[in-house]
Amino acid sequence: MVRRNLSFALTAVIIFMMAPVALHAQKVRAEVTVILERLPMDKRERMMDFQDKITAYINNYDWCEPRYDSELPIKMQIYLQDASVSFEERYRATLIISNNSDMQFYDKRWLFNYDPQQILEHDETRFHPLTSVIDFYINIFLGGEFDKYGKFEGTPFYNKARKISHQARFSRFIFGWDERQQLIDEILAEENKAYREALDAYFLGLAYQEEDFGQTLKYCKKAIDLLAGLIQKNPDYKLPHQFIDGHYIEIIDLFKDSDYAPEVFKTLIAIDPDHKEEYEKYL
């Protein structure tokens, strides 16, 4: 992942932190899978193009300002069940959505009405029980991605997700939004800021790899220490655990031959016991 432009003039020393140039995610590239087996046969036929519609809704939209040109990969699985009532076609869905690396959410409380003839449109001013859930999670992923490029740069996207959760309060499809509100409040909570600071530090460290590996180790160790402190204070907060799980192989490669190895791997054993045997190899 390219985080900042680290080109150095041969005749001058450029201080990296003074003028970072960020490349941010603009396009979202979603791989969507819709599972229809739990629907009655007539509903399966009506929802045959639902997967394509959701894919187009996500992938054909510019989620960020046009000057940003990188892509954010998303995997989405949607398991549909019929929840129709006499006056309306409704569906209950279980959603599993991830960014393929360090963030994943499981949502089993998605309820929406749907007409196969309707066109899915983006409108931040209006709540829709189908598209607003998608927008909510995509903005959370964008928030996490932007936080990797600069300290708290993801805040505008997290705020969009919070705005959606507030809009849902006035909808008749309130089911599941207490949990989603809790999720975004947890991400933005003051006591959990260390997670977002760790994202910035870790990817800043990776940006130094070719220029100054000592700085890479310094900043990546700072990220691990931030995550460890947060996990010890709030062990139920899932995102720090997901980050470690998504990057532990990379972290091992970074630190295995360094002077930091004993301290870093002892810390990781304490906060990530699932991979204890892997860390112990380098102590």
Q: What is the pLDDT of residues 189-209, one digit of tens each?
A: 999 999 999 999 999 999 999
Alpha carbons 64 and 193: distance in angstroms, whole number: 23
Rg, Å, the chain Cα set? 21
pTM of the model: 0.89
Could you give the 3-state DSSP secondary structure of residue 22? Answer: strand
Residue 234 DSSP code: -
pLDDT band for position 3 (cuts 50, 70, 90): low
Q: Enter the tokens of residue 238.
A: 């899932």
Q: In the chain, count of helices (H) and strands (E)?
A: 10, 4
Question: What pLDDT is recorded for position 100?
Answer: 81
Q: Which of 35, 27, 37 has the alpha carbon at shortest distance from 51? A: 35
Question: What pLDDT is recorded for position 2?
Answer: 46
Question: Do residues 110 and 133 lie in contact, with contact meaning Cβ atoms separated by under 8 Å?
Answer: yes
Alpha carbons 207 and 226: distance in angstroms, whole number: 19
260 vs 100, which has greater pLDDT?
A: 260
- Taking the CA atoms of 49, 95, 172 and 143 in sequence, report the sign of the dihedral they define: negative
173 vs 69, which has greater pLDDT?
A: 173
- Taking the CA atoms of 177, 53, 122 and 86 in sequence, report the sign of the dihedral they define: negative
Q: How many residues in the chain?
A: 283
In this structure, what is the dihedral angle of CA atoms 36, 41, 46, 51, given to the nearest 10 degrees? 10
Comparing 24-33, 210-219, 264-273, which segment has the lowest mean pLDDT?
Answer: 24-33
Question: Do residues 97 and 123 lie in contact, with contact meaning Cβ atoms separated by under 8 Å?
Answer: no
* Mean local confidence (pLDDT), 44-64: 96
Question: Do residues 76 and 95 lie in contact, with contact meaning Cβ atoms separated by under 8 Å?
Answer: yes
Q: Which residue's structure tokens are 């954010």? A: 72
Question: Do residues 53 and 120 lie in contact, with contact meaning Cβ atoms separated by under 8 Å?
Answer: yes
The torsion angles phi and psi of 278, rounded to 5 degrees, stand at -65, -45
